Amino acid sequence: MTLDIITADSLAPLRHGFFSRRGGASSGVFAGLNCGPGSSDQSEIVAINRSRVAEAMEIGPDAMVSVHQVHSPDVVTVSEPLSEPKPKADALVTDQPGLALSILTADCQPVLFADVEKGVIGAAHAGWRGAKDGVLEATVDAMEALGASRDKIKAVIGPSISQKAYEVGPEFLDGFLKDDPANARFFAGGADDRVHFDLPGYGLHRLREAGVEAEWTRHCTYSDPDRFFSYRRATHEKEADYGRLISVIRL
């Protein structure tokens, strides 16, 4: 099966993509393109999947750079391929042609950034915690440090869990309201004391408040099991593990 790659006109002409689960070598709960070395999938199969992504990006596997994601606001500026152990961070930026920045997700927001004119790119893993703690703004700041112009940066949020599928408890809501009472706009009522959180809407808000033009591809990971892996769906279905989607951009 061929790879299924979602792209955005705003990031053109840079080679980039939000890869779905289709077209990979994994089986079972990981069926398809599981690109997560941290999963319990066979490491050699994950390596095959990642090599297929690198080939689609027209680079060698070593040039597809990633970090050890920990739900932080931390950003790594990359000038060459990273060696093991990977730094703990949740975003990467570079101005080096031939390097591809990659992020793994399974409900959290994968966000790809580009200032095409200045030749600076970024990629961020933004779950609720990272987004709340400022990983999106930190990525923009790191791109500016490489010469990007904030008003020229385009950001695209890829497949993420949508509001209708993201039920949370009152303590979650309270944390966001403590930051800013206006954050109530990102929550809708659910059953009993539960509410539904609009993660992509919150991400778009944070990016636009930072002065960046941003959009969401409007794909929900939870609601489309044929196309996307989802941590929350796997948890609800009591599966032993879950696959990781990859999103990549390169100069």
User: For residue 30, what are the domain limits?
Assistant: 5-160+218-250
**H runs (alpha helix) in 120-230:** 128-133, 135-145, 170-179, 199-209
Is 15 among the domain residues?
yes
Q: How many CB atoms lie within 10 A of CB 131?
A: 27
Is 168 among the domain residues?
no
Number of domains in the chain: 1
Calculate the average pLDDT of the chain.
97
Hey, what are 4's tokens? 């299924």
pLDDT, tens digit, 9 for 90 and up, residues 7-24: 999 999 999 999 999 999
CA distance 233 to 221: 9
Is 149 among the domain residues?
yes
Is 170 among the domain residues?
no
CATH number where 236 lies: 3.60.140.10
Q: Give Cα separations from 87 to 102, 194, 219 (angstroms).
A: 14, 36, 29
pLDDT, tens digit, 9 for 90 and up, residues 136-181: 999 999 999 999 999 999 999 999 999 999 999 999 999 999 999 9
Does residue 86 register a pLDDT over 80? yes
Sign of CA dihedral 7, 217, 135, 37: negative
Is 188 among the domain residues?
no
Is 209 among the domain residues?
no
Rounded to two decimals, the pTM is 0.97
Is 189 among the domain residues?
no
